[in-house]
Amino acid sequence: MIFNLFALISILIGSLSILCCTGTQSITSDILRKINSPVDIRVLIKKMSVSDKLMIKSSGLISIESQGIRDNLRLTDDEMLNFEITKNGLKQSNKLFTFPVTIRSHDDFLFIDGESYYGHFVCEYADGTLYIINYIDLEVYLYSVVFHEIGKHGTTDAAKAQAICARSYVYSSIIYDKKSAPFDFYADESSQVYKGFRNIPSSIISSVRDTYGTILVENDEVVYTFYSSTCGGFTQPVENLFKVQRHFNSLQGVKCEYCRYSSKYYMWVQKISKKDLESKIGKFNDLKLTQFQSELPHKDKIRIISSEKTSEISLYKEFRKIIGREMIKSPFVTDITITEDLVTFKGHGFGHCVGLCQWGAIEMSLRGFSYIEILQYYFPGSKPKKIY
């Protein structure tokens, strides 16, 4: 059942029991089945089109539910289920399952594109597109997200800080950002990176377990806990890049003293041929950066000056999208140099630079700071709160 927003404060205190060990742990469906938080979410795994083939692999008992009718299948190890996508439903052999279709494994994970997923899939069709949506317990989802967001470099307290940020991101998104889509979150950087349950380190498992039910609050309201790889020395105010429904003093940007020691993206230089750049944005004579109305050094827009006209577009949201994510790594661009054949961008950081700096958090953890100190450094005035 999808999380009822009005039940946020009244959620009963739960418990979590999971086996932990050193190194990499194999998470089994039996272990995940013991986790039962009060929050289920819907994550879009994949979009597909009519005439595509949907292939799901699993083993053991599989149920396919459609229009109140349930078919049970028993698959051998890693047997593949093949569905043909039609406008009316999923066709398997000679049987048509009309939309929406629920596919559930009772004994194992479900595999799509080589990734393992827990929970169940709901397949919904709208406007020519099939949406494969994973319905999953929030705490189970976090094992994958924390691992894929902070990775193998995530020391214990950095991973705990990441777990609280990821959990708070879910809560704040559901509470503040009403969506009409049939899902709550994407499975990539558009929301949070969620790529299944292969090779999850025990440090990640324990970090999610130890922060079970804990979110970050300011004045008892859950904070928009944005985060990115590397801030480059300064995080920036959330309003610079995102339209948010609440103002939080804890999201107005701070100076970061730590990612300079750990991230290869603390400073960067990116070169692109002038010919290639002009093929994407048109001919130009000069490029100028404009500042956000903030004391922090992040840039708002880029002014493209040609002999015919001058245009101005968002540096991070538009210009970066046009020329490539790897070219403009953050809004913290310090210099643009143009020669006859080459354009050189210099800057700091990787990502939007709002909220938690992940490489800064890793460095702080290595220096002995606790996850609470890390969170309060990047979100000053906030505090963790256990809500279930």
Give the per-residue pLDDT at 21: 32
In this structure, the answer to whether residues 236 and 364 fall within a common structural domain is yes
Domain interval for residue 296: 268-347
Whole-number Å distance between alpha carbons of 166 and 42: 15
How would you classify residue 184: left for phi > 0, otherwise alpha for psi between -120 and 50, otherwise beta? alpha
Residue 21 placed within a domain: no
Q: Where are the beta strands (DSSP E) in 86-146?
A: 89-92, 95-98, 101-105, 110-112, 115-117, 120-126, 129-137
DSSP H or E run through 45: strand 40-49
In this predicted structure, the answer to whether residue 108 has a pLDDT above a threshold of 90 is no
Looking at the chain, the whole-number percentage of residues with pLDDT higher than 90 is 77
> What pairing do the DSSP bridges indicate for beta strands 95-98 and 342-347?
unpaired
Q: How many residues does the chain have?
A: 388
Q: Compute how many other C-beta atoms are within 10 angstroms of the C-beta atom of residue 344.
A: 13
The rounded mean pLDDT for the chain is 90
Residue 27 placed within a domain: no
- The pLDDT-based confidence of 32 (bands split at 50, 70, 90) is confident
Average pLDDT for 337-358:
96
Average pLDDT for 116-132:
94
Whole-number Å distance between alpha carbons of 16 and 163: 15
Contacts of 81 (CB under 8 A, 6+ apart): 55, 56, 57, 58, 62, 73, 75, 92, 103
> Domain ends where: 141, 172, 202?
141
In this structure, the answer to whether residues 339 and 201 fall within a common structural domain is no
Residue 146 placed within a domain: no
Whole-number Å distance between alpha carbons of 106 and 63: 8
How many domains, the chain?
Answer: 3
Query: What single string gives the DSSP state of each residue in 146-174?
Result: HHHHHGGG--HHHHHHHHHHHHHHHHHHH
**In this structure, what token pair is assigned to residue 85?**
């996508």
In this structure, the answer to whether residues 214 and 68 fall within a common structural domain is no
What is the pTM assigned to this prediction? 0.88
> Domain ends where: 78, 113, 141?
141
C-beta separation of 257 from 355 below 8 A: no
User: For 281-339, what is each residue's pLDDT tens digit?
Assistant: 999 999 999 988 777 899 999 999 999 999 999 999 999 999 998 899 999 999 999 99
Whole-number Å distance between alpha carbons of 24 and 33: 20
Return the C-alpha torsion angle 157, 159, 31, 196, nearest 10.
Answer: -170
- The pLDDT-based confidence of 17 (bands split at 50, 70, 90) is very low
In this structure, the answer to whether residues 327 and 362 fall within a common structural domain is no
Give the per-residue pLDDT at 26: 57
In this structure, the answer to whether residues 191 and 47 fall within a common structural domain is no
In this structure, the answer to whether residues 118 and 172 fall within a common structural domain is no
Residue 30 placed within a domain: no
Residue 22 placed within a domain: no
- The pLDDT-based confidence of 156 (bands split at 50, 70, 90) is very high
User: For 372-382, what is each residue's pLDDT tens digit?
Assistant: 999 999 999 99
Query: What single string gives the DSSP state of each residue in 252-288?
Result: S--B-SSGGGT-TTSSEEEEEEHHHHHHHH---SEEE
> Domain ends where: 89, 107, 141?
141
Question: Which of the pair, 231 or 38, is modelled with greater confidence?
Answer: 231
Write down the residue that tokens 């020691």 correspond to: 261
In this structure, the answer to whether residues 186 and 114 fall within a common structural domain is no
Average pLDDT for 95-103:
96
In this structure, the answer to whether residues 132 and 187 fall within a common structural domain is no
Give the per-residue pLDDT at 291: 85
In this predicted structure, the answer to whether residue 70 has a pLDDT above a threshold of 90 is yes
In this predicted structure, the answer to whether residue 224 has a pLDDT above a threshold of 60 is yes
Give the per-residue pLDDT at 199: 87
Helix H, strand E, coil C: the string for 199-222 is CEEHHHHHHHHHCCCEEEEECCEE
In this structure, the answer to whether residues 374 and 299 fall within a common structural domain is no
Return the C-alpha torsion angle 232, 270, 317, 183, nearest 10.
Answer: -80
In this structure, the answer to whether residues 164 and 311 fall within a common structural domain is no
In this predicted structure, the answer to whether residue 28 has a pLDDT above a threshold of 50 is yes
